[in-house]
Amino acid sequence: MTVLGLLAIVLCGSCGEGKREEEPQRSEEEVRLEKMGRLDSTLLWMLPRAKGMEGWMADSLNRWQERLDALSAEAWVLVEDSTGFIISEKNADQRMYMASITKMMTCLLALENGRMGDSIKITKDVYTTSDARVKVGDGYTVGNMIREMMMLSDNNAAYALAKFVGGDTLTFYGMMNQKAAYLGMNGTHFANPNGMPNNSNYSTAKDLLRLSRYCMRDTAFAEIVGTASADIPLLDGRHLPCQNTNALLTSYEGCIGIKTGFTRQAGNCLASAATRDGVTLYLILLKSRSYTSRFTESAMLLDYGFEVMRVYRDCKK
């Protein structure tokens, strides 16, 4: 039997199933949670077996495997969203530092609990790092500070939003961990809103995958992380030019987000998503070697994912 035939049998075994009974009507949130948590290991079982068979596809898969083995990232998970197929993973359940990917949760909670038109100012008690673009005394609407935080990965904006939304930062950390538990992120603990070095701020690639898939089903969140550049207004009439730290938004066809991260403790990290020809892939990549490699390695994994899903779709025709 050819590899293509085996793929067709394994991946398309449900193609001939009869009409299923109607499921009871569910709320939008129930559907969102179900889609976020849907994972299928079929491909992880199938692809190694295909590599051992003869034919052009086996040769192609073996070449891809050599490239995957050469990646510097210490952990990743790559998933096709509609099926939940796990296409590739490495150390996906290992607890890792997540750097500014933490801000996905900060953004989500600010969108869910803040009023976007309210005013928020940067005060001395939230000015924790000197490399931030927001400065003491700067004022924004909540919505615009969220955009600035996510696009520029601004650590002080994250603290300001945490204090504003939670009343105090410790309360906000409790909100972060409560939401993580709600989302089934069992290998995750939040101890700050921005991912700065902290031994108690950690997650796993699979947990961050759950978070990213949940967040991207919020249209406001998806719009923010999919914006490559913008001039964000301050309350005093000035504008802050923002170029998104996610280079894939302008260099990778179909990229729709999501968030960069870096500390010496966490290494170079990237949560990304891309859509091509009706296929949407999500990728969490943790502790890559360099600033550049987190993008090139993510692009390579996404390319691999689209190739695998192209074969899958061909099998269904």
Q: Does residue 179 belong to any structural domain of this protein?
A: yes
* pLDDT category of residue 1 using cuts at 50, 70 and 90: very low
Q: What is the mean pLDDT of residues 98-120?
A: 97
Please check the confidence at residue 15 and state whether its pLDDT lies above 70.
Answer: no
Whether 28 is in a domain gets the answer: no
Q: Would you say residue 53 has pLDDT above 70?
A: no
At residue 310, the pLDDT reads 86
Residue 69 within any structural domain of the chain: no
Range of the domain at 166: 99-316
The percentage of residues in the chain with a pLDDT greater than 70, rounded to a whole number, is 87
Over residues 215-233, the mean pLDDT reads 98
Q: Say what the pLDDT of residue 49 is.
A: 62
Q: Is residue 60 part of a domain?
A: no
Could you tell me the sign of the dihedral formed by the alpha carbons of 49, 50, 52, 53, in that order? positive
Q: Is residue 155 part of a domain?
A: yes
| CA–CA distances in Å: residue 39 to residues 61, 76, 82, 207, 304 | 22, 15, 10, 12, 18
In whole numbers, what is the pLDDT of the chain averaged over residues?
90
Condensed to tens digits (0 to 9), the pLDDT of residues 236-263 reads 999 999 999 999 999 999 999 999 999 9
Q: How many domains does the chain have?
A: 1
Write down the pLDDT at residue 64: 85
Asked if residue 135 belongs to a domain, the reply is: yes
- Identify whether the C-beta of residue 86 lies closer than 8 Å to the C-beta of residue 98: no
Over residues 15-26, the mean pLDDT reads 59
In a domain, 80, yes or no: no
pLDDT band at 44 (very low <50, low <70, confident <90, very high): confident
| pLDDT (0 to 100) of residue 11 | 53
Average pLDDT rounded to a whole number, residues 272-297: 97
Nearest 5°: CA angle at 103, between 309 and 303?
20
pLDDT at 264 over 90: yes
Strands (E), the chain: 75-80, 86-90, 119-121, 139-141, 229-233, 239-243, 255-263, 267-276, 279-288
What letters, b where the CB count within 10 A reaches 16 and e where it falls short, cover 293-306? bbbbbbbbbbbbbb
Percentage of residues of the chain with pLDDT beyond 90: 77
- 302 vs 15 pLDDT, higher one: 302
Helix, strand, coil tally for the chain in percent (to 5): 45, 20, 35
| CATH code where residue 120 lies | 3.40.710.10
Question: Do the domain assignments include residue 84?
Answer: no
pLDDT(2) > 60: no
pTM of the predicted model as reported, rounded to 2 decimal places: 0.91
Is the pLDDT reported for residue 208 higher than 50?
yes
- Which stretch of 20-24, 52-56, 116-120 has the lowest confidence by average pLDDT? 52-56
